[in-house]
Amino acid sequence: MDKQQENFHHALKFQYDLCIGCAHCTEICPTAAIHIENGLPVLNPNRCIDCGRCYSVCPVSAIYVEQDDFQTIYEYQNPVALVPSIFFSQFPEKIKHEEILSALHRLGFRFIYEVEKSVDILKHIINDRVNDEDLEKPVISSFCPAIVRLIQVKFPSLVNNIMRVKPPLDLTALHIKKQLVEENGIAEADMAIFYVAPCPAKIAAIKSPVGEDKSPITGVINMNFLYNKVLRVIKQGLEMPKHQYEHRDLMTRRSLQWSLSGGEIALMKEGRNLAIDEVHNVSAFLEKIENEDIDNIDFLELRACDQSCAGGILCANNRFLTVERQRKRAAASPVRISKKYNSISKNSEYLTANCSVGAVQPRSMDKLDNDRTVAMQKMEKAFKINKFLPQVDCRICGYQTCKEFAFAVTNEVIGLKSCIFVQRLLNENGGISPEERAELAKKTWGKQKLDINNIPDNLL
């Protein structure tokens, strides 16, 4: 297992004391990273891409997103809030942008920057890279970390198509550090950059970045958590006076559209470019790309969330209203801004020179065996088992599909008899007893679900 594999951080966690074993998470996972044992979900960390689909469908909030302690910001003299522009669009229109900035200062942040500030520089870098004839087509955006991980895990043949360029998050963080050190005279040790994350994939990407040794981000704050803190400050009237605001740069129209679906391809100067959002849609499309059913595409903007970052699972409000507010703000913003209100332009050469990341490596979902010959034999066995199974994907065995169950049987994680259809066949010739069937069901779904005493007498 390589170093990158070992450091594959996950922000999504299970809270088993709340879990009811409904298996909704098993059904929705785009990489089949979850199966059920003893009535509880079990995560395969090599498959999880932190897209958060499981989090969004859990009916009892038994899945949570791990974040850094908010109190950490007070350990630094100069805490910086690095905020996605869609954070501001979460708030009702009656709350002004300045009020939100003021509340963030009141909470303890000295400097506030919007993530997409570097888009005005990044758009030139991306166009140059896409037009590079040596790159494999289609070139795939590296903006969404859940998609990068999806490709690593599920479509490893496409890892070389991923654009090896830092996302706006990292480029803006580099700009912040350079600006505060050179213009404000702040030592790097006295500052800390806290990113406000709209999804768990971005948290995971900061904790274990792909193609980089370390992220420039100090800590991560759940967007929903910060939204509620800011809203409370505003409602209590605790915001700071306007004269205490730190100077902030203006945002261009294109930079504000970046985080919305289609915002990235809108910056492309030429070529056939497509934008696809929602992880299952992306997965289905990448399958066609991998099978060469689709060709002649220059660039793909792929986002794991419906409506892109506006639909992040850590966003506080309705994604469609967020998109509407974001577009209104973009429409009211200038197409270009002067250097006076665009401090990042001073660091254009520096950021361009430091925009690249290392190679993205494929990640094996499941290693059947260290010996390649044995692994091939196991794979052949798994295919045979899968061909025999009914292909109804009922998930009664605890796995998402018959195919996943077949591989689990091959790896001796579960027995073939756990398939209810196999049990039916064996039952006809006395190959399995009622007691054994009951024990197999309990092993998957737990004793509590199969306790007849839980059924009221009047229902029997």
CA 458 – CA 364 distance, rounded (Å): 51
The CATH topology of domain 3-65 is Alpha-Beta Plaits (3.30.70)
* Winning range, highest mean pLDDT, from 344-348, 372-376, 416-420: 416-420
- Enter the tokens of residue 428: 């006809």
Q: Which residues are CB-neighbours of 292 under 8 A, at least 6 positions away? A: none
- Enter the tokens of residue 388: 């025999």
| pLDDT at residue 154 in the model | 94
CA 108 – CA 74 distance, rounded (Å): 7
| Span(s) in the chain for CATH 1.10.15.40 | 372-451
| pLDDT at residue 372 in the model | 85
3-state secondary structure the chain: CCHHHHCCCCCEEECCCCCCCCCHHHHHCCCCCEEEECCEEEECCCCCCCCCHHHHHCCCCCEEECCCCHHHHHHCCEEEEEECHHHHCCCCCCCCHHHHHHHHHHCCCCEEEEHHHHHHHHHHHHHHHHCCCCCCCCEECCCCHHHHHHHHHHCHHHHHHECCECCHHHHHHHHHHHHHHHCCCCCHHHEEEEEEECCHHHHHHHHCCCCCCCCCCCEEEEHHHHHHHHHHHHHCCCCCCHHHCCCCCCCCHHHHHCCCCCCCHHHCCCCCEEEEECHHHHHHHHHHHHCCCCCCCCEEEEECCCCHHHHCCCCCCCHHHHHHHHHHHHHCCCCCCCHHHCHHHHHHHHHHHCCECCCCCCCCCCCCCCCHHHHHHHHHHHHHHHHHCCCCCCCCCCCCCHHHHHHHHHCCCCCHHHCHHHHHHHHHCCCCCHHHHHHHHHHHHCCHHHCHHHCCHHHC
CA 367 – CA 44 distance, rounded (Å): 12
Tens-place pLDDT, residues 294-312: 989 999 999 999 999 999 9
User: Of the candidates 120, 134, 231, 135, which has an alpha carbon nearest to the alpha carbon of residue 175?
Assistant: 120
Q: Are 146 and 304 in contact (CB under 8 A)?
A: yes
| pLDDT at residue 1 in the model | 32
| pLDDT at residue 239 in the model | 60
User: Of the candidates 134, 129, 148, 79, which has an alpha carbon nearest to the alpha carbon of residue 363?
Assistant: 148
| pLDDT at residue 131 in the model | 82
- Enter the tokens of residue 48: 């999880």
The mean predicted confidence, pLDDT, of the chain is 90
CA angle 286, 289, 292 (to 5 degrees): 155
- pTM greater than 0.85 (yes/no): yes
| Domain 372-451 CATH (choose: 3.40.50.1970, 3.40.640.10, 1.10.15.40, 3.40.1160.10) | 1.10.15.40
The strands making up 273-277's β-sheet, listed across from edge to edge, are 139-140, 299-303, 273-277
pLDDT above 70 coverage of the chain, percent:
94
**pLDDT greater than 50 at residue 2:** no
Residue 330: pLDDT band with limits 50, 70, 90: very high
Strands 139-140 and 299-303: parallel
List the single range of 207-211, 216-220, 246-250 with lowest mean pLDDT.
Answer: 246-250
**pLDDT greater than 90 at residue 455:** no
Tens-place pLDDT, residues 156-189: 999 999 999 999 999 999 999 999 999 889 999 9
Longest CA span, the chain: 84
User: Of the candidates 196, 192, 191, which has an alpha carbon nearest to the alpha carbon of residue 221?
Assistant: 196
| pLDDT at residue 460 in the model | 62
Sign, CA dihedral 400-406-410-416, equals positive
CA angle 377, 383, 389 (to 5 degrees): 140
Question: Between helices 223-235 and 97-106, what is the axis angle to 10°?
Answer: 100
Count of alpha carbons within 13 Å of 78, Cβ hemisphere only? 14
CA 252 – CA 259 distance, rounded (Å): 13
List the single range of 143-152, 253-262, 269-278, 448-457 with lowest mean pLDDT.
Answer: 448-457
| Span(s) in the chain for CATH 3.30.70.20 | 3-65
